[in-house]
Amino acid sequence: MRYLTVALTKGRLAKKTLELFEQVGVTCQEMQDPDSRKLIFVNEELGMRFFLAKGPDVPTYVEYGAADIGIVGKDTILEEGRSMYEVLDLGFGKCRMCVCGPASAKELLKHQDLIRVATKYPNIAKDYFYNKKHQTVEIIKLSGSIELAPIVGLSEVIVDIVETGSTLRENGLEVLEEIVPLSARMVVNQVSMKMEQERIGNLIRDLRNVL
Ligand code: PRP
């Protein structure tokens, strides 16, 4: 039997995913060792392999078929735009992609002002401003702590993930517009979906039953 390979997003999502998989009998003992430097973990009995990757790399592994299945946030799926099937909303990692800024920036979103938008998600920001709002903006790509941008005057607004809203509140910013709700999703390689229809189909069905 060929291994079914699963790419997990490193961090909180991986932890939640393993808890969920455990509920349907998909476990990986090898992965529990926090001191391990191993990159890939095998469950011989199930014929499955698991590895951890940075979020934006998960869709890459899945599109190329290096992983049959991936667990990744909807934000990353939208940003990366890879060809793969999104098959299941896992319901955790819930948050929202929003346009945020100081309350004073609200007016700038109503008119066709040429404003600057800082974000870790340039494709999502581009799609929202150009295709949905028809507002020409300058998009500035950042790698983290996006909330800093409007505070120090790099941009008027940001496009970023809001979970509890506390980062915004503590920095005098607010949600100005909501773009899309987000959560963790299961994605599947398009060829694997056909070749491993039974095993992948069973996993999806079992997960759906416990969700
Ligand atoms: C994310 C996001 C916000 C924050 C939102 O950042 O970019 O900054 O979490 O969460 P909250 O609404 O609960 O405050 P993350 O901590 O992942 O780090 P980053 O700023 O480096 O992207």
What is the rounded CA–CA span in Å between residue 17 and residue 204? 13
> Is 147 touching ligand 1 by the criterion CB < 6 Å?
yes
Laid out side by side, the sheet with 85-89 consists of 40-43, 48-53, 4-9, 69-73, 184-188, 85-89
Ligand 1 atom index nearest CA of 169:
14
Ligand 1 contact, 167 CB (< 6 A)? yes
pLDDT at position 32 is 80
Angle (CA) 194-199-207 rounded to 5° is 115
| Parallel, antiparallel or unpaired: strands 184-188 and 69-73 | antiparallel
Q: What is the pLDDT of residue 154?
A: 98
List Cβ neighbours of 121 (8 Å cut-off, separation of 6 or more).
Answer: 75, 78, 79, 97, 159, 160
Reported pTM? 0.95
Render pLDDT for 45-77 as a digit per residue (tens, 0 to 9). Answer: 999 999 999 999 999 999 999 999 999 999 999
List the alpha helices (DSSP H) in the chain.
12-23, 58-63, 74-80, 106-110, 122-126, 148-152, 166-170, 190-195, 197-210
2 CA distance to ligand 1 middle (Å) = 38
Statement: residue 127 has pLDDT above 90: yes
